[in-house]
Every structure is written in C-alpha cells, then in structure tokens.
Structure 1
C-alpha cells in the first residue's frame, strides 16, 4: 500500500503560469471579500478593501461605503454620532427654508405698491425702467432702419433739358441733354401753376 505524504504547506511564491494566476486571484478575492463581510456583520466593523488584479482591473469592497471610509482615513475625521447627524440635518434644512423664503420675497418685491417700497427698491426699479426704455428705443430704431433698407428704391424719371422743335437742327448723332428727377421731389420741379385747374404754366 502506497503511503501518503499527507497535507503539505504550499509555498507562497508568485505563480509562473499566467492562467493559474488569474484563476487563483478570482478565488482568493472572493474569499477575502467574504471574510470582510462576515467581520462587518459579526463585529460591526467598517472595512474598505481595494484590490488591483494582475490585469490592472480594480475591485473594491466597503461597508458602509468605500468612498466615505477613504475620506475619513485621509482627513482623519472621526465619524459623527447619530444625534450629531440629526442636528446637522435639521440646521441645514432650516437654512434652506430661510433662503427659499428670501428668494421668493426678492423675486416679487416689484409687485408691491410704490408707496410701500424702500429707497433702494425705488432706485432699482427706476434703473430697470430706464434700461427697458433704452432697449425698446434701440430695438425700434433697428426695425425702422431694417424696414427702410428693405424698401424698394424710388424710381427716377429722365427728362430732356430741351424740347426739340421743327426749327431745331440736330445731326444724326446729336441728342438733347438729359436731367434726372426724383418722383418724391417732382412737385418742387414743376413750373409755376403747372397742372392747376383753369390756368396754364410756361407752355
């Protein structure tokens, strides 16, 4: 009968086989996290574990929270008691309610009657109205300029400077002089009493 060598202690050295290394890491990591969880349950301990695998992947376990425990460790701040936490929460809620009330009041102050406003409120209201008036004027000017620029330009009329008569002798290339009249100003260019009823002009 062959004798057994019995249970032997495994030498703790890094495994040369990459495949065996990954399998062993997964098993040992699960066992480590399980033991940490049991310690937290049995003793109420707060534990944070961060593990990097051979493939540079990160794994973590924490109770109650890894980030909170790391921050406590770095800043060395003791954990606040439950009573202190309640006081802090109540104080913060009171501050939030007060700020909300101030914000609501500040948003509606201009709806008050002018007689009830304070001096700084009146000054602020006047400045706001002046700014509004300036913006409205600028916008109206821009619209007016844009409308004027988009309008069709006035048509210009061309008249000869002299009217040919039967006695006027013009060569084949001679043309009477021309002048341009803007229709908007045509009334000012008409001869005296031209076009009026019952009278004649220069013609």
Structure 2
C-alpha cells in the first residue's frame, strides 16, 4: 500500500487552479443586491477607518473621514477625533475661516449644480439637527 504524496492530497483543483479566490483583485463595479451592498460597505468602512487611524498614529496627521451608508447613516472617524479635526478645518482651513458652503460661487452654477448644492446643504442641515437631538437626549 502506498501513501499519496502531499501534492496529491491538496484541495487545489487540477491544472494549477486555486481552490479559493484568496486575496485576488476583484473588478470595481456597482453592487445591485441590497444585502451584499451593506455587507461590503461595512467591511470597506472598517478598513478605511483603520487606515485613517493608522495614518494619524504613525505620522501625527490629524485625519477625519465621514462615510454615509447606503441607508443614509453617518459614520465619522478621526484621529485624534473627527469633531476636533472638523472644528479645526471649519475654523481656519478655508482661508477666510468660512464654511465650505459659504465659499461656493452660487452665481456661476447651472441648474443641475444648484440642485446638487441644495441637496448637499439640506443633508448637512439634517445631520446637524440629528446631532443636536442626540446631544439633548
């Protein structure tokens, strides 16, 4: 009785194909399935936040990342913390110390750009109101 060699017992497929995908590059494409979209967002968000924090820890950078989930939830992350980085930016990062929406040249925008701008400002207002509500509770 002979014992098969280790190569003969491996789970890999014949013709040098891998049994699993492992860490292969996958093409970037829009995910249509809602449940898969949420799972992928959660995994990618964790990785993004880990890298942002690592950037701050290793190089002393002040970092803020704000991610909006497919469901509309806000996920802030920052080093040392997102609030302090954003306050610092809003207080002096814009040149005149203005908020980003004050520096937009509304007169030069077309109709489509104006509609997008209104949506962005409304989203900021909604987030501020949600934050105020959470602080009062």
Scaled by the length of structure 1, what TM-score is found?
0.34
Instruction: Tell me which of the two structures has the higher relative contact order, counting C-alpha pairs closer than 8 angstroms and 6 or more residues apart.
Output: 2
Larger radius of gyration: 1
